[in-house]
């Protein structure tokens, strides 16, 4: 199975900050990397697919980059509604696997 | 509007069985692969199973032989039959759709809680 490792596990930031979350795969997954946002008590929401493509309706302050084994999710200017948990997921091969999550908290 | 609505969760004893359902609407159900993903309280996301448009099932080792995924396209419905349940299966179970087995999960249901406890 492909292991996905996110860092950091938690992060404190302020509104307006630029934030970067990293995801590393245990083997190359090309660009088969997706990012999700989850708020408490809610289902995950797809933000970025294929490493860098913005899902329809997602604000442009979210961006993704990377290929192979190393990927990043960047939020250019944090908004109050962005405080949530973020997960990366590889869809290169089964079983589908997720990172452990990064909890983004208000400083 | 795409909607996925799970049902069938509840309390079950260890070793028991439960069948989850997911009712889909707002899209051509038969054209999409479907998945089940679970999340234990306070934990991360774990993929549980998937089924292709042709009905081909996929499972991780943790549930293979105990869980069975199926779909009924005429009813726009996805199912998860869970047998030999263990305490470690306690979680919120989400159904989600994807445009292919290697595609992202672009819509998710709200989840249904399964609690395995005596």
118 residues of chain B, pLDDT tens digit each: 999 999 999 999 999 999 999 999 999 999 999 999 999 999 999 999 999 999 999 999 999 999 999 999 999 999 999 999 999 999 999 999 999 878 999 999 999 999 999 9
Strand order in B18-25's β-sheet? Answer: B3-7, B18-25, B77-82, B67-72
The model's pLDDT over A39-61, given as tens digits with 9 standing for 90+, comes to 999 999 999 999 999 999 999 99
Q: How far is B51 from chain A (nearest CA, A)?
A: 12
**Which residue in B5, B45, B51 has the most chain A C-beta atoms within 10 A of its own C-beta, making it the best mutation to test that interface?**
B45
Judged by CB atoms closer than 8 Å, whether chains meet at A98 and B50 is answered as: no
Pairwise CA distance, residues A88 & A101, whole Å: 7
State the SS3 of B18-30: EEEEEEEECCCHH
A to B CB pairs, distance under 8 Å: 62
Structure tokens of B72? 């009924």
């Amino acid at each position: 199975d492909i292991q996905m490792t996110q860092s950091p596990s938690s992060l404190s930031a302020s509104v307006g900050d630029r934030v970067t979350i990293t995801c590393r795969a245990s083997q190359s997954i090309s660009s088969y990397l997706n990012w999700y946002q989850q708020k408490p008590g809610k289902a995950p929401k797809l933000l970025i697919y294929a490493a860098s493509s913005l899902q329809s309706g997602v604000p442009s302050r979210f961006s993704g980059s990377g290929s192979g084994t190393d990927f990043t999710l960047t939020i250019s200017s944090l908004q109050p509604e962005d405080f949530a948990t973020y997960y990366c997921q590889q869809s290169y091969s089964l079983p589908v696997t997720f990172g452990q999550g990064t909890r983004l908290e208000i400083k | 509007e795409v909607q996925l609505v799970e049902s069938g969760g509840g309390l079950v004893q260890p070793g028991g069985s439960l069948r989850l359902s997911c009712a889909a609407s707002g899209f051509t159900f038969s054209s999409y692969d479907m998945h089940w993903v679970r999340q234990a309280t306070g934990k991360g996301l774990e993929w549980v199973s998937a089924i292709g448009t042709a009905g081909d099932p996929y499972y991780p080792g943790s549930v293979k032989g105990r869980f069975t995924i199926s779909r009924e396209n005429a009813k726009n419905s996805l199912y998860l039959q869970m047998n030999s349940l263990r305490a470690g299966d306690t979680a919120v179970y989400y159904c989600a759709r994807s445009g292919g087995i290697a595609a992202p999960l672009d819509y998710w249901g709200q989840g249904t809680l399964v609690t395995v406890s005596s």
